[in-house]
Amino acid sequence: MQAPALAGQSATYLARQLNYFKSGIRGGDQSDTLAQQMRAMAGILPSEAAVQSVSLFLANLPRTQPAVTISGDADKGYKLYNMKCGACHGPNGQGNEALKAPALAGVGDAYLARQFTLFKTGARGSHPEDKPGRQMKMMSTHLSNDDLRDVLAYINTIGR
């Protein structure tokens, strides 16, 4: 379904994203049909209590290891990750609540690659009310596609 693995992700992050979808902060770009689908699905949550309930449920599920679909140089990716990603997303890809940065480890490389491309093209992170998204949009310009594959190869090693 081309969706991220959400189990174990921060409930705060999940609730924020569901609310972003509900309000149109995410899912409004016509080029991102998957986000448009998610926007419609989030729209069926009738209240903030429902958003919180779904977020807590997902956050408390045990993490899984999605299939590896991208190959690269994990050693090079480790160095790049620590230089460009780790300050916000944590040294082990666990995320950082204070910076509103989600966990990357265990989410799935195909999803992360697609989201990175969406940030790079402006299809994600362009809404004026999405401050964390705007930060990621800016940071996406600092990795080439080859470097991204290496970073994802490293992220794939975390927790395995």
d(CA 135, CA 47): 28
Asked if 70 and 145 touch (Cβ cutoff 8 Å), the reply is: no
Q: Determine if residue 138 is labeled as part of a ligand binding site.
A: no
d(CA 77, CA 46): 42
Q: Which tokens go with 125?
A: 């992170």
Q: Which residues contact 134 (CB under 8 A, 6 or more apart)?
A: 125, 126, 127, 128
Q: Determine if residue 139 is labeled as part of a ligand binding site.
A: no
Q: Which tokens go with 113?
A: 């690659």
Q: Determine if residue 127 is labeled as part of a ligand binding site.
A: no
Q: By three-state DSSP, how is residue 67 classified?
A: coil
CB atoms within 10 A of CB 106: 22
Q: Determine if residue 38 is labeled as part of a ligand binding site.
A: yes
Q: Determine if residue 85 is labeled as part of a ligand binding site.
A: yes
Known binding residues: 38, 85, 88-89, 136
Known binding residues for heme c: 38, 85, 88-89, 136
